[in-house]
Structure formats: structure tokens, C-alpha cells
């Protein structure tokens, strides 16, 4: 019997048994803790190597392009990957990615859920060059041709902008901030209106009076960016009424400008 388990002077048999049991439990806990620590080390460095790069979501980018954009650590142990850094690397390398979520899925999978830019806006610049924007104002690329799915957007000549960054409307910080607010409200109103598919062009040349073109033939002139949605709703009802009236009189389709910039009134001129 080990000396540590030998009865001590004045100790009863029950006390000796209890002391020995406690010592054994402490020893067992120490062994388990050591084993757990070793397992944690092995898991971190050996047991969870990255084997599966799982891409979710509809995206224009291939799995290979996303893998190349994700700058992963040497050895690619799953537990050594920081999702926030991978998300940042992907968004910086692939401008059409509007949002990305990276999750670690033990034991060997990295799941990447990609959300591409929604609305594509094409701003014609000098010569044959277009500035392609997302609906959130992110610069996606400079192209020689506007994508077929894009909506033409006319701007006063924007300031110098970089691919992957927000478009810069003005070199003055305060003016640029205000223009960004107008742009966000304008695009949100376009995306959420009941007749989005019939909007064929957007014009922010005069940000105090933005214009949306309906069906290529009616320009809707808006007012305050705080109430774009209400203005478009009123404009839709006004157009319905005018077109029904024209149809009843067997007149041609409306062409002209519908002024919605006032508060609760509209004016149509051909």
C-alpha cells in the first residue's frame, strides 16, 4: 500500500477510507484535466483541419474565387479561423459581394453564406465608361458596357470613387453625407414601390427634385427625400386615373412629366 494511503495515527478505518477515496478522486480529476488539455491542444492543431468549404446563397462568384478571396491561416485548422477576418477579406476582394456570413461547422466545414448586390445602377461617365453601383451605393466596377439588368442612373459628375467603396457624390464631406441620404431614400423608394418593373430610369442630377421615369414615357418629379414613398404612391394613383381617362377618350398613351414635388398635389404636363 502506498504510504499516502496508510492509516495515520489516531485515524479510524472510516476516516482512512474517506481520505483515500478523496485522494483518488483528486488524482482522477487531475488525470482528466490533463487529458482534456491535451485533447484541446490536439483539436486546435490537429483534429479539426479544414476539409469542406461550403458556399451558400446565390452569387456570381465561383467556389474557387471565394476560397481564393478568403485568406486562411497556414495549416487551415478550423478552430484557428476567425470568421470576421474571412468576411472582411472576401468583401474587399470581391466587390459584388454585398454581405457575407462565415460560420465554423465542426468538425471540418467552413460555411460561407454570400449575399450579392441587389439593385444594379449604371451611371454613364465620360466616353464609353459606366460606373456600376449596388442599391446601397457600393462601387462594383467600372465597365465599358452597362449590365443588361441594370437601371440607368444619372448623376451630376461624381467625385473620384474606388471599386469596393461607397460612391463619393461630392468632395465636401457634409454635402456627400446629405447626398448619400437622398440616394439611399431614392433607391429604397424605387425598390419598394408597387411598380418597380415599370421604372426605366433614375435621375439624381438635381437631388432636391429627383426624377424616376415610368415606362420610358412619363417622368415623375419628386420632392423631399423624407416622403419619397408617399409621393410615388400618390403618383401611381394619379397615373392610373389619367391613363384610364385617356383610354376612355381613345387618346394615345401619356407622355410627359408628372410633378409630385408638392405636398398632396400633382401636376401633369405633356
pLDDT of the residue at 33: 64
Q: Tell whether 126 is covered by a domain.
A: no
C-alpha grid cell, residue 110: 467552413
**Of 189, 166, 186, 190, whose CA–CA distance to 176 is shortest?**
166
Bridging pattern class, strands 218-221 and 211-214 = antiparallel
Q: Are residues 248 and 167 in the same domain?
A: yes
Instruction: Provide φ and ψ at 110, rounded to 5°.
Output: -110, 115
Q: pLDDT at residue 32 above 80? A: no
Q: Are residues 98 and 15 in the same domain?
A: no
Q: Tell whether 10 is covered by a domain.
A: yes
Q: Are residues 25 and 102 in the same domain?
A: no
Query: What is the percentage of the chain residues whose pLDDT exceeds 70?
Result: 82
Domain of 107, CATH number, reads 3.10.20.310
Cα-based distances in Å from 80 to 38, 111, 113: 17, 15, 19
Beta-ladder partners of 56: 113
pLDDT in tens, 80-103: 889 999 999 999 999 999 999 999
| Number of domains observed in the structure of the chain | 3
pLDDT of the residue at 2: 55
Q: Are residues 98 and 38 in the same domain?
A: no
Asked if 131 and 120 touch (Cβ cutoff 8 Å), the reply is: no
Q: Tell whether 131 is covered by a domain.
A: no
Domain that holds residue 222: 148-269
Q: Tell whether 142 is covered by a domain.
A: no
Amino acid at each position: 500500500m502506498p504510504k499516502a494511503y496508510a492509516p495515520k495515527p489516531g485515524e479510524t478505518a472510516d476516516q482512512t477510507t474517506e481520505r483515500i477515496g478523496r485522494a483518488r478522486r483528486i488524482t482522477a480529476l487531475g488525470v482528466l484535466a490533463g487529458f482534456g488539455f491535451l485533447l484541446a491542444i490536439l483539436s486546435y492543431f490537429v483534429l479539426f483541419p479544414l476539409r469542406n468549404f461550403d458556399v451558400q446563397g446565390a452569387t456570381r462568384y465561383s467556389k474557387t474565387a471565394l476560397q481564393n478571396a478568403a485568406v486562411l491561416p497556414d495549416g487551415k485548422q478550423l478552430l484557428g479561423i476567425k470568421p470576421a477576418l474571412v468576411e472582411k477579406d472576401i468583401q474587399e476582394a470581391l466587390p459584388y459581394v454585398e454581405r457575407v456570413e462565415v460560420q465554423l461547422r465542426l468538425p471540418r466545414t467552413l460555411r460561407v453564406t454570400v449575399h450579392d448586390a441587389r439593385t444594379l445602377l449604371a451611371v454613364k461617365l465620360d466616353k464609353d465608361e459606366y460606373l456600376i453601383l449596388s442599391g446601397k451605393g457600393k462601387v462594383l466596377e467600372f465597365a465599358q458596357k452597362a449590365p443588361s439588368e441594370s437601371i440607368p442612373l444619372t448623376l451630376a459628375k461624381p467625385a473620384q470613387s474606388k471599386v469596393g467603396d461607397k460612391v463619393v457624390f461630392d468632395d465636401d464631406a457634409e454635402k456627400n453625407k446629405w447626398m448619400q441620404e437622398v440616394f439611399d431614400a431614392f433607391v429604397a423608394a424605387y425598390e419598394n414601390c408597387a411598380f418597380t418593373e415599370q421604372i426605366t430610369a433614375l435621375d439624381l442630377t438635381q437631388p432636391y427634385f429627383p426624377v424616376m421615369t415610368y415606362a420610358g414615357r412619363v417622368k415623375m418629379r419628386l420632392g423631399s427625400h423624407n416622403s419619397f414613398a408617399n409621393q410615388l404612391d400618390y403618383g401611381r394613383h394619379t397615373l392610373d386615373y389619367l391613363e384610364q381617362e385617356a383610354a376612355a377618350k381613345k387618346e394615345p398613351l401619356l407622355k410627359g412629366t408628372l410633378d409630385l414635388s408638392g405636398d398632396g398635389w400633382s401636376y401633369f404636363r405633356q
